[in-house]
Amino acid sequence: MSMEYVITGPGQPVRLSVALPASKSISNRILILNALSGNFYETENLSDSDDTRVMIEALNSGGADFNIKAAGTAMRFLTAFLANCEGEWTITGTERMRNRPIQPLVDALTALGARIEYIEKRGFPPLRIFGRPLPGGEVSLPGNISSQYISALLMIAPTMKNGLAIRLEGEVISAPYIHLTVGLMEQYGVKVDWKGDALNIPHQAYRPIPFRVESDWSAASYWYTVAALSEGAEIELPGLSKSSMQGDSMVAKLFSQLGVTTTHTPSGVKLSRTGRRCKRFVYNFVDVPDLAQTLAVACALLGVPFLFSGLQSLRIKETDRVDALMRELRKLGYVLKNSRNHTLKWSGERCEPAEGHAIATYEDHRMAMAFAPAALAGAVTIADPSVVTKSYPRFWKEMERAGFTIKLHVPL
């Protein structure tokens, strides 16, 4: 049975310390690095998200059939990991996952000696993997594909007898996620030589280390919207680092244009609202695509026209996020336009809001969390609110702690 949350904003400024989840991006990389290094240390503060849970279950199960549900990182990382291990496995996911492309990674692994079969539709999961230690060598990949493919190959590269040389062709998108992978690999004692479009990783051994996962900057972004919309807001976000390797730490700089000041403290960051905002917001999201939904909703609600570019990877996420943003913001009365060159634009055009219509979330956690702060501008209904467990299981509890009223509604 489907359900909805009807959310209304608090009648006073939002002032609290928020419990953020641990970084999902870091957690899922650490799980692979732990497996490759034979790590005997316990990792502290692993994410409790759905995506990390399925990774843990797969790596600990000892089984041959894996259902990673909607976890994109798990699908990409485990495909490469299993292809390089002795054994035979099948890996599948949700209907949406079975329509998210994986051919660039499979082609690269095949070129390196892997044997992988498509069980249903060519180019997409589910997969049958006949694993064996890969010799390594050289492979070329387009730079404008998901960084998860590149990260998946990078992490297994040092274990290959001949190492691995990766050449990235053309524009590289989501580069901070590749930097994150390389940075974590280096903490585990592996040297990566990245010069221009070439990544070279010689054969070498990972070193087991103790590790504590930092809080998630992507999850913090929704609280930046809350701070921007709540006059007098003061929000503390513990566990965030100024020196973070997470690309989404850029959210602090971006929201400074929308009237939110970020102060770094010994325990994390503190957000406060200045109310000063730019007249027009223009940004290329090629490096931080997961922030696009948050910023689109925030700009619209603040009345700030915007032009977003670099959105090509949003088409192959949990949903087509560009189309989803256009449809759902229209329900709130905002008319967005997009073009074939991966831009999304709002010039200030309004339409009549669609009264009584819930914001659809398309099995996409970021749709639910990006739109939830809209309750500060008037009651908003979010369909299928449980999708937030993919990355931020406590999100709705934290919203209630912040003073938001959340009522369950079951549509007829």
For the residues 75-104, what does the mean pLDDT come to?
A: 96
Lowest mean pLDDT among 215-224, 347-356, 378-387: 347-356
Shared domain check, 140 and 287: no
Q: Evaluate if residue 316 carries a pLDDT over 60.
A: no
Domain of 311 in residue numbering reads as 4-21+218-409
Domain of residue 341, CATH code: 3.65.10.10
Kindly state whether residue 212 falls inside one of the protein's structural domains. Answer: no
- Confidence grade of residue 342 (pLDDT, cut at 50, 70, 90): confident
Determine whether 248 is an active site residue. Answer: no
The residue from 143, 175, 201 where one domain ends is 201
Shared domain check, 28 and 16: no
Kindly state whether residue 210 falls inside one of the protein's structural domains. Answer: no
The enclosing H or E element of 155 equals: helix 147-156
User: How many separate domains does the chain show?
Assistant: 2
Kindly state whether residue 234 falls inside one of the protein's structural domains. Answer: yes
User: Residue 354: its pLDDT value, please?
Assistant: 86
Inter-helix orientation angle 24-37/50-61, to 10°: 10
The enclosing H or E element of 137 equals: strand 137-142
Kindly state whether residue 350 falls inside one of the protein's structural domains. Answer: yes
Active-site annotation holder among 287, 290, 364, 384: 290
Q: Is 3 left (phi over 0), alpha (psi -120 to 50) or beta?
A: beta
Coil, strand, or helix at residue 345? strand
C-alpha to C-alpha distance for 392 and 359, rounded to whole angstroms: 19
For the residues 309-329, what does the mean pLDDT come to?
A: 81
Residue 350 DSSP label = B
List 279's β-bridge partners, or say none: none
Shared domain check, 137 and 42: yes
Cis peptide before 126 (omega within 30 of 0): yes
Cβ pair 318, 365 in contact under 8 A: yes
Q: Evaluate if residue 407 carries a pLDDT over 90.
A: yes
- Confidence grade of residue 315 (pLDDT, cut at 50, 70, 90): low
Q: Evaluate if residue 335 carries a pLDDT over 90.
A: yes
Is the whole model's pTM more than 0.75, yes or no? Answer: yes
Shared domain check, 335 and 405: yes
Cis peptide before 385 (omega within 30 of 0): no
Shared domain check, 240 and 175: no
Kindly state whether residue 213 falls inside one of the protein's structural domains. Answer: no
C-alpha to C-alpha distance for 53 and 41, rounded to whole angstroms: 19
**CA angle in degrees (0–180, nearest 5) for 53-37-60:** 30
Shared domain check, 84 and 10: no
